[in-house]
Structure 1
């Protein structure tokens, strides 16, 4: 009888031990190995950035080394902001991941445009009734920040903008962007459409793992295929590279970026740069100014990247 009790106790111990190992292994896989859990940032104790974040124009800033997600600089990085057109980073990556064929033609409906004109949204240059390839709409969304490109993608993939917004919010949840909520695909201001620069760094570090997204994000210009409305196609340019105006950094290069602006949030920028042998992400938001003033979001990016390693 004693032997039987001991045997049962041993079996229970082995079972509990095995179960514990399985739980720990699953947790490690979920929170460390899974690519979507890119929000495990760490603060770098010996930062190589010589400029103080208090010297920047942007009140919300975060600088991440892409290789290991080390935080090299931050200021109010977990404070709620309105993302403006930086929203289109999420729009683009969700669209890319849900488009079976990037060459498929998408028709832009008449109803799309009137609402965007009324909101004074930035546009790509397409026309109502135009049939545009999905890849050209993706370039249109990220380079000239075209709102009609975003709506066209959303309608094609989810049947409506709000259906696509649900997909965006699910992706945000999957990535651990726990201080983010989207209400639209364009970044038109809405009190319930918010995020943080830290959450945007999570998003961009994830999106850059996708080759199609990276190719678009790092392009300075793009020429579309001929369409039924533009037989010669359209050529459009990255708003960031236009504002950069051939300026660059001393020991590297700004590889790509997405600008944003609304009256409520000011000037924003999500950028990717290579300094020395490393790649970095800088997200900034809230700089004073507008499309007609000095572009303080660009000024901040140049200042940060140029201060590294000094």
Structure 2
């Protein structure tokens, strides 16, 4: 197609321009033509810019694709569970009265089996670390050698640590095990500085990745989930984040482990041992899942602001996968009791 500027396109009475005018203002047309991918509509090379994709918006890429070119575009959420409001069970068997938000998602059927306040912004506690692991593996390599910096010296009361000190050296693989099995906050900080150059730099990467996978109702300011202003997620966004993280084989492997032992080096080159146990009460045997459900793994999280939180990957007797999440349950015992009720919805 011959490259034609926008002014000539109108002057020539282009049928494309005429049809665009019916759904967009002239200003919107100009913005659209400037932001489409190279070769789109005009054939001119242009840099691609973000453009809303929503069938309900008066101006969006969905309407341009469908109304201008008469081509049905693939939905961004074509292979995802989508939910707007609450979804209950037929017999009302799930008692989620002690939790603020919860969801159960069938990954094979892309079906929301239960939803309560899944779009409410809440503190995620250590469920944050799922995004930390996802970003770390996207931009790093498991064999990367991390040198621990002062940012890993976390002094907050009650914060879970694995004992890292400034100058210690360990691989990203080792740090990810400490992060996801033991929920070590010092490991989270060490990973963040290694990958992002700083806590703030890594948080920016987390937010960029969240937007890329559709988790647009979340915002991160740190890699560990210790309480901070403007650090929040939703139960639905956590489903999106966990679903994306499960595409990483190493994350699938780690979340299933009940314990981990390794050796790393201190600043003087001396060996230091690390022995960790899972914080997941299903995996360590303190709580029992329903008979028809196998817990593959997940992530726990607890702070005063976030309450007790849990996200899980489970499978039914046929091997079909499910993601379940509960945010801000009042007590750990209640959290696991409610999660067991939620998992009972799986047939």
Give the TM-score taking structure 1 as reference length.
0.82
RMSD: 3.2
| Comparing 150-159 and 239-248, the one that deviates more | 239-248
CA gap 1:48/1:279 in 2 versus in 1, 3 angstroms? farther
| Aligned counterparts of 1:193 and 1:42: Cα–Cα separation in 2 | 23
Secondary structure class of the residue paired with 1:93? helix
* Contact 2:94–2:338, Cα closer than 8 Å, also in 1: no
Tell me the equivalent position of 1:3: none
Larger Rg: 2
CA–CA distance in 2 between the matches of 1:117 and 1:141?
17
Q: Following the alignment from structure 1 to structure 2, what is the Cα–Cα distance between the partners of residues 41 and 259?
A: 24
CA pair 301-118 structure 1, distance change in 2 beyond 3 A: closer
Structure 2 equivalent of residue 112 of structure 1? 151
Match of 2:302 in 1: 261
Q: Which protein is richer in helix relative to its size?
A: 1
1:31 maps to 2:76: yes
- Aligned mates of 1:165, 1:215 — CA distance in 2: 25
* Long gaps (5+) in structure 2: 1-11, 21-39, 42-61
**Separation in 2, partners of 1:27, 1:158:** 39
Q: Distance in 2 between matches of 1:284 and 1:160?
A: 30
Bigger mean CA offset, 270-279 vs 232-241:
232-241
Give the aligned partner of residue 163 of structure 2.
Answer: 125
Q: C-alpha displacement at 1:32, in angstroms?
A: 4.7
Q: Matches of 1:77 and 1:104 in 2, distance apart? A: 36
Deviations 1:221-259 (A, max 9, x none): 222244347736322122014665262321121110111
* 1:4 alignment partner in structure 2: none
Q: Which runs of 5+ in 1 are unaligned?
A: 1-7
Q: TM-score with structure 2 length normalisation?
A: 0.73
**Contact kept? 2:313, 2:322, Cα under 8 Å:** yes
Contact 2:181 / 2:255 at 8 angstroms: preserved in 1?
yes
- The CA deviation at 1:59 is 2.3
1:298 corresponding residue in structure 2: 336
Shift of the 174–214 alpha-carbon distance from structure 1 to 2, 3 Å rule, reads: same
In 1, are the aligned partners of 2:162 and 2:274 still within 8 Å (CA)? no
